[in-house]
Amino acid sequence: MTVSVGMFDTGYTRLKHRIDAMGLDIDIRTFDKDGNFNIGGAKVPAAETEVDYLWLGPDLAGGSLGSLPFDIALACKRIDVLQTFNAGLDNPAYKKLSEKGIRICNSSAQSVAIAEYTMAQALSLIHPIDDQRAAQAKKEWIRTPFREIANTTWLIVGFGPIGATTAARAKAFGASVNVIRRSPQISEIVDAASTLNEIDRFLPDADVIVLACPLNDETRGLAGQSFFTNIKHGAILINIARGALIEDEAMIEALDRGQLEAAALDVFHTEPLPAKDPLWNHPKVRVTAHTSFAGDGTHSRWDALFFDNLPRFVQGEKLMYEVAPADII
């Protein structure tokens, strides 16, 4: 039986030869930025369109087309499976789509880039690079002792593809790596693992804390007063997940009293971050514009996941990164 596949017209133009080479029995139905599908050469509104498999690919990522991807998905008459470029599914559209019975697959394509971003931030905060640059500017021959990554303990909250990829890189530097995950299973790249209700047991030992977990009712406001009271003095916090995991006032208080040494933040409660937000000018905060995913290999991995998952769907096999409806808030 022919499988109908919906995708953005720009993506199809870019990948047409590779799609044709797959040799699958599929009917490609592209949609444009005006929200219309091309079916058999005719423009058809999304509300009248049925697709078995809808791909929201990298040509739609980055926000340049606003809410178009979600508007299209919500408007379609029928979708069986939606594969998205997002790793986190906290956008309210995903909940609505899931409630319509649509199966949703998220993305692991960002994992390598985000893990590298995390390591870059951690290394540059632990190693006295700023002091070395200041000494160079003054032409001062000063040795700058530093703490080795191998002598640090990391706590990674969330052990999906992003958390696991980050853990592997920290472990490669010789760090001790503990993780908070849904099940307390230990893998070869971590030293200890537990669930969220035991996070307070790990906070006092963590030199680097990485938030890499989904945003849901259990994790919203995770890093609040109690969290920052329990952290190790001089800890570093890196958030590459969602801004609402952190209570900003509690974090700023921890920074100001020295309990928290520094925070590298790529995600925020409101994005873009308002110009008046105090995080912009705080001397111990690094602000980046939700850019940790933007490595030069992310787009090709987004494509690769599509080319891996689509044949699985056509052949009735288990899909990669399908998210349980209960995990979509």
Dist. CA 171–CA 173, nearest whole Å? 5
Helices 298-314, 9-21: axis angle to 10 degrees equals 60
In terms of phi and psi (left: phi > 0; alpha: psi -120 to 50; beta: otherwise), the region of 292 is alpha
Active-site residue, 312 included: no
Active-site residue, 133 included: no
Tell me: cis bond preceding 184? Omega within 30 of 0 counts. no
Q: Single out the catalytic residue among 29, 290, 299, 312.
A: 290
Dist. CA 290–CA 88, nearest whole Å? 13
For the beta sheet containing 103-105, the strands, ordered from the edge strand earlier in sequence to the opposite edge, are 42-45, 36-39, 26-31, 3-8, 50-55, 78-83, 103-105, 322-323
Nearest to 55 by CA among 81, 17, 90: 81
Sign of CA dihedral 74, 76, 80, 84: negative
Q: Single out the catalytic residue among 29, 169, 242, 301.
A: 242
Q: Which residues are catalytic?
A: 242, 290
